[in-house]
Amino acid sequence: MIRKNNSLSAPSFEICISVIIPAYNCRGYISRAIDSILIQDAPCVEVLVVDDASPDDVVDVVKERYGADARVKVIRHSENKKQGGARNTGLKHASGDYVFFLDADDWLEPGGLKALLEIAEQNDADIVACGVRKVFANGTTEPFHAFALACSGGREALGYLAESYIGTISWNKLYRKKFLVDNEIMFLERYYHEDVIFSMRAVMLCNKYISIENVYMNYFQNEESTTHSTSTPLHLASFLRMWPDIDNFADIYRLKYDEEGVALVKKLLFMHAARDIAPRLMHYMQVTSKDNHHKDIEYACADIFPEHKEMAADILKSIFYYLQFVTAPAPGEIPDKEISGGFFRRLRAKLYKGE
């Protein structure tokens, strides 16, 4: 049961929520994101804008507009570390008891932070999530993710994540900072899709997770964002590492030692490596030449699996042979044969020396 009162008295500490905004090539819309935080009626807020070595003048834009507002702080990277690295930097500098990650092209509806904070405080929850809508450039919207649930962490929460009732997105959630710091939960740096393993670790280790259906987060469909950007070798490396990352996560949290755990791992691999990543991999194949496929996969495998660089072509062939036969199952159905069959056995034999 989720406890919620109509009011929350202002806490005695100076800062209660730190909002972390990575900034890269976003001068045209970062003000919308920042303004959406400054108008929140939460007791106290700070905004940490992390300049990820952006080539535009976004820092000048922020300083000119918010230079007199002590709530807005700018932190600068000397080199680009991608969104994961920027979020990690923001977390290290955050002074709040809670943190909220916001992308520079998205924005929060009024009342969102206060609503999430009230629920977190009244229910002693480490993580509280809100609903999300997509917003298009023409002003139209459509639902993206919104569920009402409350659960403990561990396998219960991981099961909800495997079914996508808990999203792997990090930017619709309020996190207790002490929980993240004490458990050393950080984002993957210098890669894309950094949310996935971060979210798995967070829900696995939290004491309580709560999600509300109220839609407070606006997810702007920006054609220039990471999600919509042109495929590069780094995108390919980021796609491919989902498999070993999830496999390693399963080893660390001992999910392979009983039938329930093995079933959960298979579902996580299907939902967040195969199903989510497969269309992006296929798109990559369609927009790059065959010669580049092999060069890029060699780069990706040398980066992710350095001891298996010479097997790059075989890994690529195995993955895409598998993807040809992946079909979209009904919700909750797992194509056990594909996940546990020839593809994954071959991949494991190559990458993990036949364990």
Over residues 161-198, the pLDDT tens digits come to 999 999 999 999 999 999 999 999 999 998 888 899 99
**33 belongs to a structural domain:** yes
Which residue, of 220, 255, 279, is where some domain finishes?
220
Q: How many domains would you assign to the chain? A: 2
Going by pLDDT thresholds of 50, 70 and 90, the confidence category of residue 1 is low
Residues 172 and 268 in one domain: no
Residues 190 and 268 in one domain: no
**74 belongs to a structural domain:** yes
- 71-84, pLDDT tens digit by residue? 999 999 999 999 99
**56 belongs to a structural domain:** yes
**11 belongs to a structural domain:** no
**269 belongs to a structural domain:** yes
Helices (H), the chain: 30-38, 58-66, 82-93, 112-123, 155-162, 177-182, 195-205, 233-240, 242-252, 259-269, 276-287, 290-304, 312-324, 336-340, 342-351
From residue 70, how far is each of 37, 58, 112 by CA, in Å? 14, 18, 21
Residues 204 and 249 in one domain: no
- 308-329, pLDDT tens digit by residue? 555 555 555 555 555 554 444 4
Residues 76 and 184 in one domain: yes
Residues 168 and 206 in one domain: yes
Residues 168 and 192 in one domain: yes
Residues 171 and 49 in one domain: yes
Question: pLDDT above 90 covers what percent of the chain?
Answer: 59
Structure-token pair, residue 264:
């959960």
Residues 82 and 215 in one domain: yes
Residues 214 and 244 in one domain: no
Residues 253 and 301 in one domain: yes
Which residue, of 159, 188, 220, is where some domain finishes?
220
Compute, in degrees rounded to 10, the torsion defined by CA atoms 203, 206, 210, 216: -70
Which residue, of 195, 220, 245, is where some domain finishes?
220
Residues 208 and 267 in one domain: no
Mean pLDDT for the chain?
Answer: 83
3-state secondary structure of 204: helix
Domain span including residue 98: 17-220
Residues 248 and 190 in one domain: no
